[in-house]
Structure formats: C-alpha cells, structure tokens
Structure 1
Amino acid sequence: MKFEDKFSLPSEWLSDESKQIVESCREIVEKEIFPVRQELDEDWKEHKIYEKLLKKLMLDFGWQCAPWPKEYGGFELDTITYCLCLEEMDRGDSGLATAADCGNWAFMPIFAPYPNEVLIKKFAPLACQTKKLFVGCAAITDERSGSDVENIDGTHGQYIATTAELDGDEWVINGHKLWPTNSGGVADLFAVFCTTNPGVQDDASFAIIYVPADTPGVRQGDPYQKAGMSGDKNGDVWFENVRVPKENRANLKPGDDAKAARLFMNAGNIGASAQALGIMRNCYELVKEWCDKRVVGGKILKEHSMTAGVLADIAMMIEVSRSDTYMKARMMDNPDAYGIDPAGKEFLAKTRANKLFVTDQMTIIINKAMDLMGSHGYAREGHIEKHWRDSKIISLWMGGRGLAKLDIARWFYDCKTF
C-alpha cells in the first residue's frame, strides 16, 4: 500500500521541526505497525505485541514527552503537530493510537488552563525520559454513568459517584471506574474524576486527583474483550480508601478542576477527530489501490462513472473534515486571536460539533469503502473491516452523540436542557 496524502494541510502553521516529527511518526507506523496489524486483534488480552509497539511510540519515538514543557525535557508539541501524529498512528492501528494518546491526555489538567508547577515538577522527570514507560489513564466513567461525569455544564458534578474526602493533608478516594483507557495493568498514574461533595451541583466540588497505580487500595480487573480497539486496554478499576497527598489535585482552587475538565474534553474532541481522519485516510489509500487495479466490465474500476462518484464523495468528506479539525486545533493553540476561551462553553460546543461531524463522515467513508471493495473489504486481509470494528467507539466516547448535541444546542440556541 502506497502512502497517499493529497488533502489540504495547514503547512503555514507547521515548523520544519513539526514536519520532521510527523514524518518520523509515519515511518514508525509503516515500518512497525502495518506489517503486524492483522495479528493485533488476537493480542487483546496479553498485549505482548502491543507492549512492544507502545514502547516504540512512547520511548523510541519519544511520544510520552510530547505534551510536557521544554524546560523539563518535553517536546511541548502544539495541537496541530500532535493531531497530525495521531492521524499517522490511526492509519496503522486505532487501539494503539488511543493508548498512546490517552497516555498523555490524562496529564492535560495539570498543564491547562492553569499550570500546576508542583505536579509538573513531580511527574515530568518520570515522563520526560525514554528508558521506561510512564503512561497515564483518565478514570472518568463511574459504575452507574459516564456521560453524567462528562456533562459538565448540565450536571456540574452532581451525579459523580466516586468521592474524595480531605483527611488532614491527604485525599481519601472511594469509587469504581469503568472503561478507562490503559487500565488493566498498563497505566502508571490515574487521573481520577471525582467529587468532594456528593450529590451537590457545584463546580467547586468537581475534582481531578492523580493516583499512582501502585497505591494501596487500587485494584484493577481483567480487560474487556471488545469488537475492536484491541490496543486500547479497558477494565474495571476500584479505589478503596485510597490515600494520596493533598497536592495531587490538579487544581487546588475550587472550580478550576471543572474548567480543566472542559478544556480536557475540548482537546479530546479534537484528538478524536484527528484519529477519525487517520482511519479515513487509510480507507482512502486502501480503496484507491483497489480501484486502481480492479477490472470490472473490461475497465479499471475507478473509470466507471458510478465508482468515480463514490470516490469523489470519500475525498470530499476527508477534505472538509480535515479543514475544520485543524481550524479547531489552531483555535486551541491561539485562543486570543480567535476571541475564545479554550476552557469555555463556546469552544466546547464547537469542538463537539467538529467531532460529531467528522466521526459521522468516518462511518460513511468506511461503509462506502467496504461497498466498493465488496467481500474483500469485509475480509481480514482487506483491512477495511478492522477500521469498521475499531471506529465505532470513537463516536461513542466522551458522551457520544447525545451529549455532543446537548452542548451544541446549549451554546448556539441557549437551551437549558441537560
């Protein structure tokens, strides 16, 4: 399969260093991931192959240094460069890309909107080295609900079931989390979304507290077997009278963790769109190769007008989706130029709209590619079916379509619904 990228890129926003980073990421994906990706689904539980590949990305490529400030040895990547790397990873394997991305994403609340120098100094030396994995895990979904936690502007933490009680200079955490990426023994550190005042609708009670995975009272279950996303290891995590220092809260000022969570969701929405774009681009590459060689009715498949129309649809959806995604990434990095608050309700509505639109196009493209390739698209060796299985969860995570539409309606139409 030949690398193809004819779609518009925000080149004027990329430094030469950024372009080299993206190219290096692409080389790892094509050299290390493409040759083994048909074997990866069988590795969902043991993660023997996945662990080697995760080390290639996080350590050899240096991905675990990506979000950290340069003064601590990190890369401090801008959002556009980060997302272009995610595109490349998802061309290869979305589960692995998710594990690598979420391994960094969990630390975002200590970087923005208010940098926590205490925690940055505490964790940066562990992350900004390339000898040992240091992987984060955002523990968000509670046993009884997930979107209630992520519905920041609707419930304001009222229905969060995981609790944190301050006892002297320590937080005591109790709760049961489901589905966090990099659970099941992968993560070194959990970012636990919890409440300091159960049942109260108040941003001041919303808390994000960091818990090392080896802390007494942390217990993890076996990974779930899913339809796809085998590299994204998910399982139950229990926190039973877990004690961590008071300083491990992302933001000590009441209310700031809720703002950090909103910015966290904005970054997650943009990252999810970048992941979807990686899947879409690989579908484009696979279907282009197929239609360049397949002969039907004595003609190359792409020369049939009906086929050409479908191919045009695929290219159009990628082109438009990419343009909007990187505009949102640009806004994230340059909020003053666009007059937006990256942790605000307006930007949340707009990144929700972007993710919803792009993931919808992703689903359509996968189906169109499979239709064009027929049984070969449905077969393992065609690779489309892997994207078909892996992609659905990208649409579902962070509250899915329902919560996305609520956040969009709240901003654009002043709806009060939650």
Structure 2
Amino acid sequence: MADGTKFASGKSKGIDDFLRPEHLISEETKMYCKTLRKFVDNEVLPHAEEFDDYWDWTERKEHTFVDNIWKRLLIDLGLQKSFIPPEFGGSGGASTVEMGVTIEEVARGDYALASTGFISSWAVAGITIPKLNETLLKKIAPLLCGNKVYIIASAITEPHAGGSVEDVRLKGTQIKTRARLEGNEWVINGHKLWPSGYREAKMFRVLCAVEGQDFPKNIAQIFVPADVPGVSTGKPYRKMGAAIDTNGDVWFENVRVPKENRAQPNPEDEVKSVIASITIGRLISAAFPLGIMKRAYEVLKDYADNREIAGKPMKEHGAIVHELGQIAKNILAAEGFFYYAAARMDHPDVYGFPWDEKNLAAASAVQNMVGELGWDVVSRCVELMGSYGYSREGKIEKLLRDLKIGQIVVGGPILRLTELARYYFGTETI
C-alpha cells in the first residue's frame, strides 16, 4: 500500500511467527536453539515414525539409533552441562524463558526425547532452590559436566497415590517411602513409580518421609545413586506415547547414602524446595506441548499447502479456513500465556518466589491451559487431515498421543484445578 502498510501474502508463515518473546532471549540462547533445530531436523524427525517401536530400547541387546541420540543431545550438543551453573563447571544460567525455548525446540522433534533430556535439570533445581547446597552440588556437578550421559530421575509417585504425594496441603502424610537417619547415613525403604528416564538413570532424587518427624521436618529429597546396594528397577511400561522416555518401578530396600545427599539440609528450606519443584515442574511442562503444537502446525501447513478440494486449494475453503484460524489462535494463546508466566518467574523480586502459593496456582493454570489448547490444536489437525490424520504416515497421530501424556504429568489436571480453587476461592476441605 502507499502508506507502507504490509499485509500477509498468500504464503504460509513458519513456527517462528507466533509469540516467542525474542526480546527476553539472549543471542547465545538463540544460537543454541538454531543448533538444536538443525539437530532435530536432521537426526530426530527422520526417525519420527520409529520412536514408538523402541519403547523397550533399554532392554534390547542390538544397537539402535536411540542408543546414540542421548549422547548427541546431552553431550555433543552440551545440554547436560547446561543444567549446572558456570561456577561449578557447567554452562548454565538460562532464564525460565530461555529454558522454555530450548525445551520447545527438542519437544518439536520428540516429546519423549525432551522429557528425558531435560529431566536432570528438575532434580538439580532441588539443590539450588531456595538455597544453594554447595556441598551436594559439588558432588553432582562433575557427573553432569563429564563426557558421559548422566541422567538424574525424580522418584516421586508411589503405588498407592500419585497426585496425593505431590499435594502440598497434605504435608507429606501420603508419602510411604521412608528415610531414617542412622549416624551419617540415610536408610531408605520404599517403592516409587513413573520417574522419567528411570531405566537409564544413574541417580534418583527420591521424595521421602522422614521417620519419627512431623511437618515440616518429615519431608526430605534424597539423592540416591542407581548402583548402590538395594536399588532395583522393573521393566518399562508400554505407554500410549512418549515411548523412549522410559517409566516403570523403582524399589529401595535398606538403601544407604551419605547424610549430605539431602537436597536442602534445613527442613523448612526442604519444604520450600519441594513446593518450588512442583511449581517449576508444572510451568516448564507447558513448554513441551508448545513444541508439539509447533510440529503439528508444520505438518498441517505442508498438507494444507498441497491439498485440493473441489479443484481449489484446501486452505481456500471457508469451513477449512475457520479451523485453520482456530489452530493459529490457540497456538498464539498458548505461547503467550506460557511465556508471560515464565517471564514472571524470572522476576521473583516483583512476583514472588516459586514456593509461594500464588505461583503454584499460576503454574497449575498454565500447564492445564496450554495442555488443553494443545489438545485442541492437534485434534483439529488430525481431523483436517482425514485418513492421514490417524495413520502413522500422516506424521500427526503420534503428536496427539504424546500430548495427552504431557497433559497428565506433574500431578494431573484435577489436582491442578484443586490448587486453583484453593488459592482463588479459599477452598479448605479438599
């Protein structure tokens, strides 16, 4: 136009044209995201249809592409080292926003790859929030900064209860895995389920109830090497999606670890750490569906650009346009909501700390809302693609299965809604 106003051409946009907050992302992180995208495009997406077939990759004797993919991501591309602060030999220091964009890039390739790939960062947060446990971090940092894959899984859920173990209002009363202090050692007994990356994990962060103690002294996060006597694991569950992120049973039978393996030595700090871990876990979990949505958009865009109905492009039909608009709107809404909440998390001086109840409620809302928007986006993509939508060849149905898992992790949607009702409506008996 004469005044210089530009309108969109008929050419479709790309995954970078939504609401990623570029002004909050360092140039270093932007460059790293480009590296991750190249890795995903060249080494992950070509195997997209195979991941489901390798749900039992940890049990196989033959060599598969999965065996190499962790080393490529965690060691060669330096992701594992980024979980540790620079003063301890790592390359960390990313903001919550920057963590979100890196998760998006990997989850775009495969949800399970991202889930296991980033799981150690969640455990490390327990050591650094609310206070830095320098003694324990000095022990763990060299393991994550070395040249071998080292995964720290978080063992929280138990056979009798999932969300109840994470429910902060229950004050640890539902945790049945016990820890008692004998001299300078913790002795741990219990049974945990579902830790991401449990089968290949070299260490577990174990949420325990301390014997003989009342709240707040009754809760402890204890770091347990996977190879110490008394630790055993079962075979991985066969899930509907997220195949290469192994989940299963972990048993602890009279397991002994040093006293200093507790995440936060002070009991009140430990409680704050547990709440912060749940808050951060829920907020960051919303970045995974964002990556899935971006991939779904790419797949559908390619389909819509090349599909015809009644002699004209699919995307030029009114009913189809409505669906495409809904998809774009929901991706924009999900991305905007997540990154606004992430930016708030990066300013505790203004918005409070991750162990504050209001931030737990906000993170719960973000995970639920982004998951719901993601489910809507990918469901619409499946329907628009017809038979291709429900076939592996269409490259979209797997995204729907993976996304459903992303909606459930870290307590589940119902508990998260309960947290919201408690904070905003003063619900007390539930």
Q: TM-score when scaled to structure 2?
A: 0.93
**Percent identical:** 39
> What does residue range 96-107 of structure 1 map to in structure 2 within 5 Å?
96-107=113-124
Q: Which residue of 2 aligns with 1:196?
A: 210
* Separation in structure 2 between the aligned mates of residue 88 and residue 389 of structure 1, nearest angstrom: 19
Aligned-CA RMSD value: 1.5
Deviation at 1:255, TM superposition (A): 2.4
Is the 8 Å Cα contact of residues 187 and 257 (structure 2) preserved in structure 1? yes
Matched residue SS, 1:387: helix
Matched, 1:323 2:333: no
> What does residue range 341-352 of structure 1 map to in structure 2 within 5 Å?
341-352=353-364
Deviation at 1:203, TM superposition (A): 2.8
Deviation at 1:12, TM superposition (A): 1.2
Paired residue type of 2:312: K
> What does residue range 231-250 of structure 1 map to in structure 2 within 5 Å?
231-250=244-263
Matched, 1:305 2:318: yes
Deviation at 1:284, TM superposition (A): 0.9
Matched residue SS, 1:195: strand
Q: Which residue of 1 aligns with 2:166?
A: 150
* Separation in structure 2 between the aligned mates of residue 49 and residue 99 of structure 1, nearest angstrom: 16
Q: 1:371 aligns with which of 375, 383, 398?
A: 383
The Cα offsets for residues 244-289 of structure 1, whole Å up to 9 and x where unpaired, read as: 0000000111122221111111211122110010011111111111
Q: 2:351 aligns with which of 339, 353, 378?
A: 339
Matched residue SS, 1:191: strand
* Separation in structure 1 between the aligned mates of residue 122 and residue 128 of structure 2, nearest angstrom: 10
* Separation in structure 2 between the aligned mates of residue 216 and residue 365 of structure 1, nearest angstrom: 47
* Separation in structure 2 between the aligned mates of residue 236 and residue 102 of structure 1, nearest angstrom: 17
Matched residue SS, 2:286: helix
* Separation in structure 2 between the aligned mates of residue 388 and residue 14 of structure 1, nearest angstrom: 29
Structure number with greater Rg is 2
* Separation in structure 2 between the aligned mates of residue 241 and residue 378 of structure 1, nearest angstrom: 48
Q: 1:385 aligns with which of 397, 400, 416?
A: 397
* Separation in structure 2 between the aligned mates of residue 403 and residue 201 of structure 1, nearest angstrom: 24
Segments of 5+ residues of structure 1 without an aligned counterpart are none
The Cα offsets for residues 72-104 of structure 1, whole Å up to 9 and x where unpaired, read as: 221222211111111111111111110101132
Q: 1:397 aligns with which of 390, 395, 409?
A: 409
Q: Which residue of 2 aligns with 1:21?
A: 32
Deviation at 1:2, TM superposition (A): 9.7
> What does residue range 46-65 of structure 1 map to in structure 2 within 5 Å?
46-47=57-58, 48-65=64-81
Is the 8 Å Cα contact of residues 83 and 120 (structure 2) preserved in structure 1? no
Is the 8 Å Cα contact of residues 345 and 351 (structure 2) preserved in structure 1? no
Q: Which residue of 1 aligns with 2:138?
A: 121
* Separation in structure 1 between the aligned mates of residue 198 and residue 299 of structure 2, nearest angstrom: 32
Q: 1:125 to 1:2 in 2, by over 3 A?
A: farther
Paired residue type of 1:277: L
Matched, 1:39 2:50: yes
Deviation at 1:352, TM superposition (A): 0.3
Deviation at 1:389, TM superposition (A): 1.4
Is the 8 Å Cα contact of residues 40 and 49 (structure 1) preserved in structure 2? no
Deviation at 1:205, TM superposition (A): 0.8
Deviation at 1:123, TM superposition (A): 0.8
Is the 8 Å Cα contact of residues 272 and 355 (structure 1) preserved in structure 2? yes
Matched residue SS, 2:235: strand
Comparing 91-100 and 103-112, the one that deviates more: 103-112
> What does residue range 278-317 of structure 1 map to in structure 2 within 5 Å?
278-317=291-330
Q: 2:365 aligns with which of 324, 341, 353?
A: 353
Deviation at 1:149, TM superposition (A): 1.1
Number of residue equivalences: 413
Aligned structure 1 segments of 4 or more residues deviating by more than 4 angstroms: none
* Separation in structure 2 between the aligned mates of residue 79 and residue 61 of structure 1, nearest angstrom: 20
Matched residue SS, 2:217: helix
* Separation in structure 2 between the aligned mates of residue 160 and residue 366 of structure 1, nearest angstrom: 36
Is the 8 Å Cα contact of residues 57 and 244 (structure 2) preserved in structure 1? no
Q: 1:393 to 1:203 in 2, by over 3 A?
A: farther
Is the 8 Å Cα contact of residues 205 and 255 (structure 1) preserved in structure 2? no
Segments of 5+ residues of structure 2 without an aligned counterpart are 1-11, 59-63
Deviation at 1:412, TM superposition (A): 1.1
Deviation at 1:408, TM superposition (A): 0.7
